[in-house]
Each structure stands twice: as structure tokens, then as C-alpha cells.
Structure 1
């Protein structure tokens, strides 16, 4: 066990932690699993499968770092650290071996007593905090990083919470941001965790002495429910400030606009964040999706896509938050290789499908089967789409997220009516806005043209209009350079690529030789003849042909 700890610790500290600015306050994660009989025999397979699925996704995600560090403890007959703090991204082999080690813990045996189990749990929490403090001290991860501890148990959750509150009240919990107790309950076990009527005032005072947030979450013993608990780690955990200010017009009796402060939350993991995956959907989210194909693939026609309708959906039962990507307009084909009868029949079938779906307010759920199995021996990835009818006798194809990429969202509808004064304020704000029955995108202007024009005018040209050799430095003395040195500078300027990257010096900073007299008056840019006539032209550019070439290049660049 000690050798395993040292090996894992050395591998984890070999590379630095990547803290992305998009998720600046993501905490490190500690997972403590109570593998105690007799519940472990019922929850072991479900928990390990859910954890293995989640880690396969989390370790493959591109983009900002959502889980910077992860550590895993198991409590059975003793307290055991199966995984010291390691990085999650790109480390699935190490994480998978840890899950298999957790799966191998025996599910049979006896418990040494509730007091012994509570003491092991308290020691695991304190040991994880101490390990995190040592890790941060020896890396450049920063001083403002916190840690969240999640305890997974099958014992009554409120009892575990009270044990932790009492056991940790004197511990060093400065770096602990949150402590979550997840109770996995099986069929018929829900009533076992009713509030204890014999809770004493002393226990209530002890719970208030813990300066850290302690939450209790009860989930069923299923892979999807436990996956949902872990996927909450992938969402932004900042909370330092609000994300969005929604401004509404001022009410009639007030001149101050109404500001509704909101937070934004991801509903799904974008398929664009999973690199090198098979077809998960319509790839329209990154610039890589629009790049032209290779020369070999350009000669071949694109593969024919086959979408299989698997379900009929009611339109009011489809939530827009589970759709992603850019919609595609689907229309009947005009392929010239089809004969006229087949095209007419196809047109009639398409119109009938649009009319039926539109009149009945229905959608179609489609599935795309993979063309071939993955190289790793899997069965490939199945992508799904929603086919939505439009009023113009056409169809819209929208990708729909699958279970694996769905993030938890607990936005439940409230059964209570809003406050009366709040309703009056919002209704008064909305009456100040114009009302339209049809959205016309032509009436929306984003100021994009003006922004692009101003940005293009302010940006520097890709190549400077005046190319200057590194050896043609401004001269501050009255003596001229020898002819050999000038020829060497011209030859180096003509052959060196560095010369094309030197920006021109401002005219005010160029020093002229004392033998040439005072510098000429500053001329505007179009007056190119000044640099190509007279002795000044020969003094500034010994090679007349080279100067003319530079001017010609500048005209072409402009």
C-alpha cells in the first residue's frame, strides 16, 4: 500500500495542474466510499459502474478543466486511500484501475460497530484535507483553491451527517468548501431515514459549530442516479458573483430599469468537447467542421446518411434545452439521377409527411446507426435527432443530446403563485415593449459589419510596407558606413527572411547624416516619388532597384 501511494504521488506531482480561466474556482474532489456490509453487496456493482462511466467521460473532455484533482478513499475494515490526488484529464487508465480496486473490496463480513465506522469516516475526511494541503504546497496550483468532499454511504444519511458534524467540529476545515453526504437507498429503504425525534439540543448546537456547508442527498440505487451525482462536478462551481444581468424597461411609475440577476448553467456537454469520437451529431460547433476535406476524399462523394425513425413525439413534450448545434433544413431531393416519376412520388411523400406532422403537432425521433464498429472493438456511437415540421412545408433537423452527455438540472416548477408586487412590477415592465406576432430576423442588426470594418482598419498589415534590413540601422554620427558594409547589408537584407518581419521606423525617429543637411518635411503616404528621386533617395536606399521593389510590394499589399 505504501509503495502504491508513493508511485501515484510521484506521477501526480510530475506535471502541473491546469487551472482554466473559464472555470477559475473549480474545487478539487475527494470521494469517500463506505464499502460496509451488508449494503455493499447491493451497491458495489452499481456504484462502480456509474463511477467508471463518469470517469471515462470526464477524462476525455477537451476545453476548460472541470475537475482539476481527484482523490478516492474506501472505508471497509480499515481506511484506505485508493487514489491520492491525481489529474483527471487524460488519466483514465489510472482512474479505471482505481475503480476496479474499489470493486474488488469484499462485500461480506461483519461491522465492528457504528463508533468504529464513524471514526474511520472522520479520519478519512481529515486525512484527505491534509493530503490536499500538502499537494497544494508543493505545486503551483494557487492558494485560493478549495476542496469538496463527497461521502457515499448506504447508512441512514441524517445519522452520518450528525456523526460528521460532531467529529469534525474541532478539525482544520479551512480548505473544505463543502461536505456532501450521498445516501444510496435500495427498494423499501426510504422510510428508514426518517428524522430522529430524540435529537437533543446538544446535537443541534454541535451541527451549528461546523463552519462548513454540509448537505445530504438521497439517490436510488441505479447507475443513472449515481452518474447524475458525479456529473454535477462538471458544472461551474464558482458562485463568487452573478453571471447575468437581465435588464427590463422601467415600470410606468419608476424611472429606474428593473435588473434581474441570474446565473447560467450548462444543460449538456457539447459533443465538440470530445475529440476523435465517431459521429455524435451534426458537427457545426467548431471551425474544424467547416474545413475542406483532403485531396483523396474530395474525389469521393459524401457518404449517404440514413436516419431511422424510432418514435413519434408530441411537440409540447420536447424541451428545447436538450437540443444543440445548428439546425439543418430538410427538403425533398432534386438529384438529377432520379427519373421524373420517382421524383414526383418522393415530393408527394415529403409533403404528406410535413402536413401530417404539422397538423397533429408531432415530431419524429430519429437514430443514426454507426457505419462501422470503432477501432477499440466497441459497437460505435448512436446519434439521435429531432425532425420538426415547419409552416413552409419543410423539415428542421436538430441534434438531441443523449444520456451520457446530459448534465443534472433540478429546475422544478413551483406550485406557488409569484408574489403580487413582483407580478405587478414585471407586468408593468413588459408593457413598455413592442409586441410582434412573427419573429423577423431581417429586423435584427448585430452591428457586425461596422465592428469588422473598424477592426480591420485598426489592425496592422500582415507585412510592413517598408522593408528594412537589420543592418540598416539609423545612423546617429556623421560618418558614413563603408561601401563593403553597405553591400553586405543589402545582400543580407535580400536573402534573409528576418528582414520581412521588421516593422518600419517612424519618420521622426530616423536620423540623417550631417552632410545631408536637415531632414525633409514629413510627406504623406501616397507621395512615393519622394523616396525614389534625388540624392536623398540614394542616401536612404543605396540600391535603387531594391527600394522600387519595396514600394511595389507595398502597393500590392494595400
Structure 2
């Protein structure tokens, strides 16, 4: 597995965002199931990219490419930068909607393997055309194959077909089987968390096998996992528990326990999205708090963000009005540089802490230490946090108010009993409300996606580069905006003893893969 280290000194983007891999999505089209998948998949992709292209701050994704495998493999979208390319991505999704949904064809067993090899070839070519420093950020690729065929069979097909292929740049290859199960979304178990790799481990292969439901929310949540920080070069945060009490015999104190954790966002900050209700608020961005991990330059291995536990609090003794900003999730680190024994011990201690806090109904009050103090000699202001346990192997962290932030709140206490007539009126109104046991965010629709799509669809007036799309003339068709790849696609293997038949439309599509010479470009421009 590749683990990049690319952010140089003075970089404005954290190293772990450079570690986000480039992504190739291969849509494995099979009939008749494609007709029931196409609409949901395209809607999920549209929603996801409206979000990914709108996020301010460091880019969560680097490069993206889309292939379709039907009766042969076809590059719908060569590798492009995600940020700033919503129009191209939207055109790509529109073209995916027009893929044949009825009829019959004979898929070739080699098509899927050729799509993987062709995608790797395109990725290598793209990297070679980048400046040296930028090319260092494009050294790893993750390939996802979306299919409605049985996942085990597709994995075996890929394993057999790619056994002699150079996969040195491939960080991960996963097969995602789309099923027709009935989705149930809860706050405690999202579609991504329900995935299991047990199937793939039984196959004795490095190819991951996952399943998702044929549902817009399920697919959308799967793609959103691409926005998570996936760097494992170092742990993100150290949670420091105070040393044990001194022993009467030894009169020495145990060294403080250090739990090495990875930090994960619980949700996206509305302040990172244009035009949202909370767009002007940055409650989660005081200088030196946890959010700086996602904003500051690369740090050395000895400058982890630290949370020093100060004391314990009873769960019932903390008023939620004193908490502010966005929540973050702590989990045991998966840093590859730690040996297995240390990783296992760290996870066991983390598990024990979660269990003990839940059993005692305690929270922890912790003081944050900034990543960097800069050149000033003055002690920086500290941020305090409450650390809360959860039923899963995670801890929830939220900033908590300190004396300096408090405003007076002279609110009188409620009298024991309200007036009878008002009580009857309000009780009647409350009885008419639908009651839910839990809050399920998947059932609440804020119309954010259409808003972001309309915002991104406005003309930006940005000039196109040589990697941008150009209008092509297809035989018997109107001009389209399909982008041209920079490397000729790998040939489709014909059946033994037979030459492949190529239609006029297929010839035109194949021609779109090749970068034309200057003479060909001039001929195209001269055509009326």
C-alpha cells in the first residue's frame, strides 16, 4: 500500500490532504439491471459532486476519472481536477444517463480488466505531464468498480485478469456490488459503516468487496466517504491521561498514558459552503483548536495536536448550552508506522476508556495544545473540550466555553406549575405532533444540493487548459462536449477467429480517445 509524503515546507495545504488518492470509478453496466440503477447512481453522483466542488478550503479530492464497461470499455471522463470542474463532471453524468438501458449485448470477459489497465495507463500519462512538484501528489490511485453482478464473481474475474499486470501505482482496488435490498438509515449506523470486508478476506485477495443498496442515499453516502482524510502516515492527535497516583511502596508515579488517535469530522461545516444559512459563522474556527488540523501546513511527527485531560465530569453536570462549534470523532489510530503490538495495545486501552466512561457516566474535560505557537513568546490562548463516550469504539469531542466567553444569563427559574388553561392548550398541541424515538438526519431534506448545483452552474469565465474538453463532431450526431483522453485506449480483444465489427458511432467514439495531431485539428476546424 502506498503512503505518500509530499507537502513541502511552506505548503498551504496539510500533508494528509496531499495523501488523498486520485480516484477512478468504473461503472460495470449489465442489462437489464442497469435500467433500475442508472437514475439513482446519476442522482447520487450529481449530489456528491455539487458538494465536493463547493467546499472551500483545502481540496478533499485530487483527480477523478470515469469509465463505463458495457460491451467494451469506454472512457467517459479522463482524469480531471475535481475542484473547479463541476461543469465537466455534470456533462459526464449526463452522458452516463444516456447509456443504453434496454436491448442485449454480449459483454466480453476482458473488458473490465482492460478498463482497469487503461485507467492506470491514463493515470501514469497524466502524472508525467504534471510539473515535478505537482506530480508528487498524483502517485497513488484508488479504483472502484460499481457492478450489479455477483461481487465474488467480479473479484475472481479481476484477480485472474490482473495477475500479470503492474499495479505498483494502485493503492486500492475495490468491487462494490449494488443490491436491491431495502435500506434503513439510522444515526448510529450509516451505509458506509455497514460495509464488511469479511467476504473479500475469504477470497484470499487484495481486492476489497463491499455492498451498497440501489438507493440514492446509500450511494451518495458511499461517495461521501471519499471526502474523509485517508492519510495514515502519522496519528492525528494524542489524548494524554494523567499519571497514576503515587505508590506508598515505590513512591514513584507511573508515566502518563498516551492514547494515539485519528481525528475524523462528524459532519461538514456549513461555513465551508457558499450561501448556506450558517455561511458567515465560524464558531468552529478559533485559532489553535481542532479544526486547524484541517487548515494548517504539514507538521513534524513530534508536533501532534495534544489533548491533556484535566478532570472528570458527571454526564448530567454539563449543560449543552456551554458547548459550541462542530463535533469531532476520535478513534484509535491506524498509523502504518506503528508496530502491530503498539497498535493493538493502543486500541485495547482506547476500548477500556470508552467502556469505563460509559459505565461511570462520566465525561472528560481536556485542554487543547495548539499545533504551533509561531514566533511569539506569549502563551497562546487554550481551547477546552469535553470528551464523551459512545456505544461504538469512538469518542466525541466538542469545544466547551471558558470564563472569558461567558455572557450573563439572568433567566428566572420556572414556577412549579403553569396555569391550568395554558397547560391544557399546550398539551393538546404537543399531543398532535408525530413523535420519533431518535433524530434521523437522512430523513431531513434541506434542498442544499439544488442550491449548490445552481450556484456552480453559473458561468465562471475560466479559460480552458489543454486538458479541458473540446467539442467533437461525431458521425451523424451533434457536437458534444466529451473530453479527450491523452492515451489511446487499450484494444478490445476480439473473439477467437473473428475480427471485431465496429460501427460508425463506435469509430467516432474511439477517435475521441486520441489526441489529434495539429493537421487533424486544422481539418476539423475547416469543416463547416
The normalised TM-score by structure 2 is: 0.48
The normalised TM-score by structure 1 is: 0.46
